[in-house]
A and B are shown apart, each in its own frame.
Chain A
Amino acid sequence: MTDLDPANINVILATDCGSTTTKAILIQKVDGQYRQTHRGEAPTTVEEPVADVTVGVTNAVTEVGELAGRKLIDENGEVIRPASGDVGCDIYISTSSAGGGLQMMVTGVIAEMTAASAKRAALGAGAIVMDTIATNDKRQPYQRIERIRELRPDMMLMSGGTDGGTVKKVVEIAELIPPARPRPRFGSGYQMPVIYAGNKDAAETVTETLGDSVALSVVPNLRPTMEVENLAPARDAIHDLFLEHVMAHAPGYDKLIKWTNAPIMPTPGAVGDILKTIAQRQGISAVGVDIGGATTDVFSVFPGADGEPVFNRTVSANLGMSYSISNVCAEATMPVILKWVHFDMDERELRNRVKNKMIRPTTIPQTREALVFEQAVAREALRLAYEQHKAFATTLKGVQQQRTVGDTFSQDTGGQTIVDDMALDLLVASGGVLSHAPRMEQTAAMLVDAFQPRGFTRLAKDSIFMMPHLGVLASVHPEAATEVFERDCLIQLGVCIAPAGKPKPGKLCFKYQIDGVAADDEFAEVLHHSGEIACGEMKLIRLPAEQEARVRVEPARGFDCGAGRGKPVERKVRGGTVGLVLDGRGRPLDFEAREEVAGWYEALELYPE
């Protein structure tokens, strides 16, 4: 860790070692403010023939250095620190998802309770959870042993039982591990790390049971009582073991660990950290999504049952835009995807398109038709990933409820989702199909159609996927991380205004009035006008990112824009590269006619001729 005073940090170098590309960015203090100034990238070199991750890092950093006119790498191929003049940087930080990231298995007693908590801890730390073993997973012991053997996780997290709770079942699960003789993927010479975060009364017996077969770390119970979830010790242990065991045995990482001023974090964990930092600092609820070729990650920060912000992350392993595109089509079904395509398409041609994308994952759409289809698939992939996320980001199960007679007809069960679309303030998009859409309007439309935000929601995109870098930076210099996040990381797309309710064709959905002081004459008219949005109608009002405005919305009877049905709402909003998206389609979104979709696309200027 760095001992530098944050006030003296002027030049920050950050890298993210992905599976295929290593990305480097340079953050410098410009006029007293931290700005991301340059970026560069190079192929990742963790695999053979190079088999040294630092080579790729050096190449990417060299590119950044050349662009910035700053020498960052010395003659020995190492990062120069501290900065002086045009040479070196003050701190260097890095994240890594090379070699498939951190792959874990988690165990617990009940799948929906301690095992779910363990899964939340692992996902929150940035891992990919390969499988969850629990006593109620309806598998025989030999099947569980076989599974541990097959999957070869980098690490295991064991949980189960409250403190003073069941010992028998926790030990039963522990007994599965020694016979499985788990072998980690990297470094055949070391023992697989296992974190035990279950019933403290069972720790000793579990230690005896596991013996020398694994490298066991015991941390405080992540579910000390059914009512409390304490994920921090398990998450910290995952980060520590990721460095000590997993990374230390991956090619070149031993060198990279020595270079960095802060521990190397798994990429998704870092993304979660920056989102959490921003949500806490600004007091908002936020959702971030990263859609890739094989998987889609969704991150969220919403208030939990006790009102404290809770961070959740899910990895939808089978929802992606290339390797997993067939699965998206199977899960969402072709007719549902085709609802988003506003012209006739031959189903046979569509199937060919899907299979081509699967076997040639790096191809990008060459025609307008291909683009529309790909974005239709993206809408459904995002929608499904968000649904999975909602099902996972819940209040705790197995918690005693306090009732009054007033609850007679409204008895909610535990495990209700904490994701509240109406409370969502910021929706951040990243990943190829969203970041590299030809038009910003298309990114905004995909977000609105897939996530169906309600009320007022800011839309933004992280075009160069800078969030991982900023996540690590947040642990060293939160102020710098926040400043760069706001100014350079996010491209503000605009604000979506969408009342929730069931639309009635031809009826009014809401009235709006926009007021503000125009910074530019071009927008003077926009800033003093009012209008009406009918049910099923969409409208785009151009408002630049630097322009603020007050928007008053009066929803029709039966529609809620955040203050209750039919009650007016007034908010200060900031524009973006797209502007204000006024959505009168109601929530949840339900439509049949293709003509409607064509009208929406036209209103949002998605695919101009």
Chain B
Amino acid sequence: MPHHPTRHGLGTLLFAVAATFPGLSFADDAPGDAAPPASPPAPPTDIVVEDRPDDAGDGLVVRWTLSKDDTEDADPRTVLKYVVERKPAKGGEFEQVGESTYKQPEFEDEVDHGTAYLYRVVAVGRGDVRSPAAESTEAVQPVLQWFNGRRAWFGILLLVVCGSVVYFIQIARRGTDLYIRPIAGLEAVDEAVGRATEMGKSVLFVPGIQDINDIQTVAGITVLSRVARTVAEYDAELVVPTARSLVMTTAQETVEAAYLSAGRPDAYREDDVYYLTDEQFGYVAGVTGTMVRDEPAACFYMGAFYAESLILAETANSIGAIQVAGTAMPSQLPFFVAACDYTLIGEEFFAASAYLSGEAHQLGSLKGQDVGKGIGATLVVLGCLVLTATTLFTVRGFDVGLLTAIGDYLTQNVLGDGGLSR
């Protein structure tokens, strides 16, 4: 293409003047546009259509060799874009399905599964002049893949974590002692119930204010089982006010079973596990009233808590009770930590079941999950290091090919969607 710096510069000047003096008007066609249409660019060649990998058989990838006119030194550009057209192999007309900008010899097309297609690509120049089309010679049908290879890392991780769980369950069954660090809040159950027994006072257990479908309530009920068993063994008194009717029923059955397993079914009183109200602050008023009147010597808060956490903990603190809390609500944890004697924090709370039961399959699961968490934490640290190193070395002009590849994999596959969103 011939170069026309003067005409191009004049157009820019006119645009600038028009912008400065909005009252002025010009003819619709600028002098440049009035020039005769350019000659069509050379067509793209070697068109290849392939199945898109790692998908559900609903995509094809079209690749071609760029037009000879699609070069860097052309100014203005001769080729502005490529238009991709397709038609079913069984017959029909070519229809435009997408475009690819200059210098991009690839296009991913979403197609119907089970249909074979033919493609053609046209290079488009200035003034929408089009090159002759390059056509694929063979019809290609998309193929369904059973596995998404870009998610292989996830499969490996899954295998490792599941394998760890199975492995740890097996070794726990063989009698190997799996170490779980002592959780002070759970160790303190005996101490708190003992204190209540010595002081001749009751033990108060609050299973949170959420319903039984909340996993924290379920974890709280697990701890309740242990507390109730200890209370039964010590022949103390247990009071469980609940904020949901279903939680009450579950708690009643749990406490009854605990008393039975402690060999004290006669000591169980159904009325000690009761329903107060669904209303958040109505419930809190009821529980704190019980605290002030009966002055329990030990209070347990195990479940999901909101604004009432500090009200409960401060009230029990004022009556001199030992308090053990457990929740996975990050916003409430600082209050519990500061006001209670012992606090189960997040994961500790969920680990309570395995910790208390000591059963092989629960301990094995806990250990296996720890392995998964360990791998996750390692990957996060590794990813940060790789991406930081890539940036630093690139700035200093080093060859960072491998690091870039790792970084790309981490950002596109591990952190990205791995092709799942298409």
Contact = CB atoms under 8 A, between A and B. Distances in A.
Interface of A: 109-110, 112-114, 135-136, 138, 160-162, 164-169, 223, 226, 397-401, 403-405, 407-408, 411-415
A532 B180 CA distance: 39
B185 A136 contact: no
A411 B184 contact: yes
B341 A400 contact: yes
Contacts of B322: 398, 400-401
Interface in B295-348: 320-322, 333-334, 337-343, 345
- Closest 10 A-B residue pairs measured CB to CB? A166-B200, A398-B195, A411-B184, A110-B194, A401-B341, A165-B199, A165-B200, A413-B187, A413-B184, A408-B337
Contacts of B199: 161-162, 164-166, 226
B73 interface: no
Which of B185, B337, B345 is packed against the most chain A CB atoms within 10 Å? Answer: B337
B341 A403 contact: yes
Contacts of A400: 320-322, 341
Contacts of B194: 110, 112-113, 136, 397-398
A400 B188 CA distance: 11
Given A136-B234, A415-B191, A226 B198 contact: yes
Given A403-B337, A405-B334, A109 B185 contact: no
Q: Size range of the interface on B? A: 20 to 34
A408 B188 CA distance: 15
Interface in B178-225: 182, 184-185, 187-188, 190-192, 194-195, 197-201
Contacts, number: 91
A164 B235 CA distance: 18
Given A136-B197, A166-B197, A397-B191, 11 more contacts: A114-B198, A161-B199, A164-B199, A166-B200, A226-B195, A400-B321, A404-B338, A405-B338, A408-B343, A413-B184, A413-B187
Nearest to B185: A411
Interface string B339-372: 1111101000000000000000000000000000
A165 B198 contact: yes
Contacts of A412: 184
Contacts of B197: 109-110, 135-136, 166, 169
A113 B197 CA distance: 10
Contacts of A414: 188, 191
Contacts of B342: 401, 411, 413
Contacts of A162: 198-199
Contacts of A109: 197-198
A45 B419 CA distance: 95
A399 B187 CA distance: 14
A113 B235 CA distance: 15
Contact of A160 (B198, B333, B341): B198
B233 interface: yes
A411 to B, nearest CB: 4
A165 B197 CA distance: 8
Contacts of B235: 135, 169
B320 A413 contact: no
Contacts of A135: 197, 234-235
A138 B341 CA distance: 28
A113 B298 CA distance: 15
Given A161-B198, A166-B199, A401-B342, A413 B191 contact: yes
